[in-house]
């Protein structure tokens, strides 16, 4: 494509070093879509005849069909998907194909293709996030009455419904979905028409191209348009954070499925065994998800590192952005798909959960609240209950097994009503503040999420 300036063929090693067709071939649909819109703009500007534009469109559609069928001969010496498609088109239809690149650079062409690709993929990822949210809500509804210990510092803290725990991740995923849609706004801007750096002396109707491709806005600075990859970095940040959220859920499920906890059972279809120990059932989907979150963070770091030292405007370094982008998109889609299938088949061991939630220490804060409601300042109540806990542990007797006189050793605020506090159901029913896990609140949240996700 630059034979007019160069007198020597590109070295074979350099061809291997600079080619990107081995990975950017995946942009072919978007490249063809953008080229068809560009050809129509050239026709509108009377730089192509109607017959030439039709030849271009027909030739591009034929190439698209061949790529989808796996019969298109990609040539590494042509470097990338853009030149492979343009060269094939020109070979097939002649001079009309050679006119297609008028008023266009590979710089604004690849910027367009990447935006078209990510715009499509964020919609897919958004749907997969929604699917996972649905199965989490369904699991919560199935086991709405299951109570487990809630944990801070991985130490038992207070009783919570299992469904409330799941809804915490539904909330996280919703923030991810919202961020993804917000990132889509910045993806959905047309860069085509910016040329290599400073547009072109051949004026094309960019608004017309934007309309053809479904872009609601145009870039306003041709230099920024060809060098900008903020939209890709922002998308990879959302993907990485989604991976982090699923890594946290994975850690919970790995613990909850262990013999030490036994709160949940992950189905055989989403587990693996050991090559040596026949008794093993391993939560490998969760473990791989936890591991792949590091890969997603790595993809984001790769892209940011590529960008951090680049001068204006387009630099060949940006060829490497697609490796990170494609990998992150592929991995998060795979994670979300398999995770939804796994969650759908999770079962809760209700007896084990109930036994763990019956730990009397989980109601220590309720006892402190009881003293506060009977006139004791909270810091004093906290100290009293701390001493009571130590007393209970030393005697290996739960709160409910103590006599009223023993409670009153620590505070005269204790009365017969204290024993009514020592009930998990009563504890949850008392937690009625917005966001707290009372049964009524939980039922309302499940219903709202069901309506929201199915609407």
User: Once rounded to an integer, what is the mean pLDDT over residues 32-56?
Assistant: 98
Q: Which of 22, 258, 267, 274 is catalytic?
A: 274
One domain for residues 157 and 29: no
One domain for residues 400 and 259: no
pLDDT over threshold 70, residue 263: yes
pLDDT over threshold 60, residue 250: yes
Between 143 and 15, residue with greater pLDDT: 143
User: Which residue is associated with the tokens 């939804």?
Assistant: 340
One domain for residues 45 and 132: no
User: Once rounded to an integer, what is the mean pLDDT over residues 110-127?
Assistant: 98
> Which 3 state secondary structure label does DSSP give 151?
strand
Of residues 179, 175, 207, the one with CA closest to residue 193 = 207
Give the per-residue pLDDT at 8: 73
- Does 410 fall in a domain? yes
Give the per-residue pLDDT at 5: 60
- Does 76 fall in a domain? yes
- Does 364 fall in a domain? yes
Please name the residues in contact with 450: beta carbons below 8 A apart, sequence gap of 6 or more.
137, 141
pLDDT over threshold 80, residue 455: no
User: Once rounded to an integer, what is the mean pLDDT over residues 85-101?
Assistant: 97
Split at pLDDT 50, 70, 90, the class of 7 is low
Q: How far apart are CA 399 and CA 366, in angstroms?
A: 12
Between 321 and 18, residue with greater pLDDT: 321
One domain for residues 206 and 112: yes
One domain for residues 189 and 294: yes
DSSP state of 76: G
Q: How far apart are CA 257 and CA 242, in angstroms?
A: 22
Give the per-residue pLDDT at 4: 60
pLDDT over threshold 90, residue 445: yes
Q: How far apart are CA 126 and CA 181, in angstroms?
A: 8
- Does 2 fall in a domain? no
Q: Which of 69, 102, 135 is the last residue of a domain?
A: 102
Contact between 108 and 122 under an 8 Å Cβ cutoff? The reply is no
One domain for residues 179 and 40: no
Split at pLDDT 50, 70, 90, the class of 145 is very high
- Does 18 fall in a domain? yes
Q: How far apart are CA 190 and CA 195, in angstroms?
A: 12
User: Once rounded to an integer, what is the mean pLDDT over residues 395-421?
Assistant: 96
**CATH code at position 428:** 1.10.40.30
- Find the domain containing 300 and state its range: 107-355
- Does 5 fall in a domain? no
One domain for residues 112 and 69: no
User: Once rounded to an integer, what is the mean pLDDT over residues 83-112?
Assistant: 97
**CATH code at position 54:** 1.10.275.10
| % of the chain exceeding 90 in pLDDT | 95
Annotated catalytic, 30? no
Of residues 94, 113, 101, 92, the one with CA closest to residue 26 = 113
Q: How far apart are CA 145 and CA 55, in angstroms?
A: 65
Q: Which of 51, 86, 102 is the last residue of a domain?
A: 102
- Does 221 fall in a domain? yes
pLDDT over threshold 60, residue 3: no
User: Once rounded to an integer, what is the mean pLDDT over residues 378-392?
Assistant: 97
pLDDT tens by residue, 291-343: 999 999 999 999 999 999 999 999 999 999 999 999 999 999 999 999 999 99
Residue 219's region, left for phi above 0, alpha for psi from -120 to 50, else beta, is beta
Q: How far apart are CA 194 and CA 247, in angstroms?
A: 41
pLDDT over threshold 60, residue 379: yes
User: Once rounded to an integer, what is the mean pLDDT over residues 173-183?
Assistant: 98
**CATH code at position 322:** 1.20.200.10
Give the per-residue pLDDT at 359: 94
One domain for residues 89 and 128: no
Annotated catalytic, 274? yes
71 CB-contact burial (10 Å; exposed 0-12 / middle 13-18 / buried 19+): exposed
Contact between 313 and 226 under an 8 Å Cβ cutoff? The reply is yes
What does each C-alpha distance from 43 to 94, 99, 337 come to in angstroms? 17, 11, 43
The distance from CA 152 to its chain's CA centroid, rounded to whole angstroms, is 25
User: Once rounded to an integer, what is the mean pLDDT over residues 365-378?
Assistant: 97
Q: Which of 102, 133, 168 is the last residue of a domain?
A: 102
60 CB-contact burial (10 Å; exposed 0-12 / middle 13-18 / buried 19+): buried
Of residues 114, 32, 129, the one with CA closest to residue 72 = 32
Residue 120 token pair: 């499509």
- Does 7 fall in a domain? no
Beta-bridge partners for 265: 347
Q: What is the mean pLDDT of the chain?
A: 96
pLDDT over threshold 60, residue 2: no
Give the per-residue pLDDT at 9: 81
The answer, yes or no, to whether the previous bond of 155 is cis (omega within 30 of 0) is: no
pTM above 0.85, yes or no: yes
Give the per-residue pLDDT at 130: 98
The number of domains in the chain is 3
One domain for residues 218 and 364: no
| % of the chain exceeding 70 in pLDDT | 98
Detail the DSSP E strand segments found in 214-356.
217-218, 264-265, 347-348
Split at pLDDT 50, 70, 90, the class of 1 is low
Q: Which of 153, 259, 275, 405 is catalytic?
A: 153
One domain for residues 209 and 180: yes
What does each C-alpha distance from 321 to 31, 414, 423 come to in angstroms? 17, 66, 57
One domain for residues 190 and 210: yes
One domain for residues 319 and 388: no
Residue 252 token pair: 């919970």
């Amino acid at each position: 494509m630059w034979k007019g300036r160069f007198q020597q063929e590109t070295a074979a090693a350099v061809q291997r070093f600079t080619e990107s067709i081995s990975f950017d071939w995946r942009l072919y649909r978007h490249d063809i879509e953008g080229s068809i819109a560009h050809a129509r703009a050239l026709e509108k500007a009377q730089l192509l005849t109607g017959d030439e534009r039709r030849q271009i469109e027909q030739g591009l559609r034929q190439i698209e069909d061949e790529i989808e069928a796996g019969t298109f001969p990609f040539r590494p010496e042509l470097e990338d998907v853009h030149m492979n498609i343009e060269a094939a088109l020109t070979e097939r239809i002649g001079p009309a194909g050679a006119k297609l690149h008028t008023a266009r650079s590979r710089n604004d062409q690849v910027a367009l293709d990447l935006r078209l690709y990510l715009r499509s993929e964020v919609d897919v990822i958004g749907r997969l996030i929604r699917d996972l949210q649905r199965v989490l809500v369904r699991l919560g509804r199935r086991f709405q009455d299951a109570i487990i210990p809630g944990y801070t510092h991985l130490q038992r803290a207070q009783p919570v419904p299992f469904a409330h725990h799941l809804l915490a991740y539904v909330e996280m995923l919703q923030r991810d979905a919202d961020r993804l849609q917000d990132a889509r706004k910045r993806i959905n801007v047309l860069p085509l028409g910016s040329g290599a750096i400073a547009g072109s002396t051949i004026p094309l109707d960019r608004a017309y191209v934007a309309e053809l491709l479904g872009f609601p806005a145009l870039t306003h600075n041709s230099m920024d348009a060809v060098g900008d990859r903020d939209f890709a970095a922002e998308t990879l940040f959302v993907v990485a954070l989604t991976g982090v959220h699923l890594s946290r859920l994975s850690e919970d499920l790995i613990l909850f499925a262990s013999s030490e906890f036994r709160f949940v059972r992950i189905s055989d279809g989403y587990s693996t065994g050991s090559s040596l120990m026949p008794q093993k059932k391993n939560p490998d989907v969760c473990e791989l998800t936890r591991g792949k979150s590091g890969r997603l963070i790595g993809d984001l770091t790769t892209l940011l590192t590529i960008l951090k030292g680049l001068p204006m405007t387009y630099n060949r370094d940006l060829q490497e952005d697609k490796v990170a982008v494609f990998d992150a998109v592929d991995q998060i889609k795979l994670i979300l798909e398999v995770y939804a299938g796994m969650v759908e088949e999770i079962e809760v061991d209700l007896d084990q959960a109930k036994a763990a939630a019956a730990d009397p220490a989980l109601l220590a804060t309720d006892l402190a609240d009881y003293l506060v409601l009977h006139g004791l300042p909270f810091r004093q109540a906290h100290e009293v209950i701390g001493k009571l806990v130590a007393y209970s542990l030393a005697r290996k007797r739960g709160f409910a097994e103590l006599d009223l006189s023993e409670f009153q050793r620590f505070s005269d605020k204790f009365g017969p009503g204290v024993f009514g506090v020592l009930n998990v159901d009563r504890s949850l029913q008392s937690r009625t503040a917005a966001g707290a896990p009372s049964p009524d609140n939980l039922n309302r949240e499940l219903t709202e999420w069901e309506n929201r996700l199915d609407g």
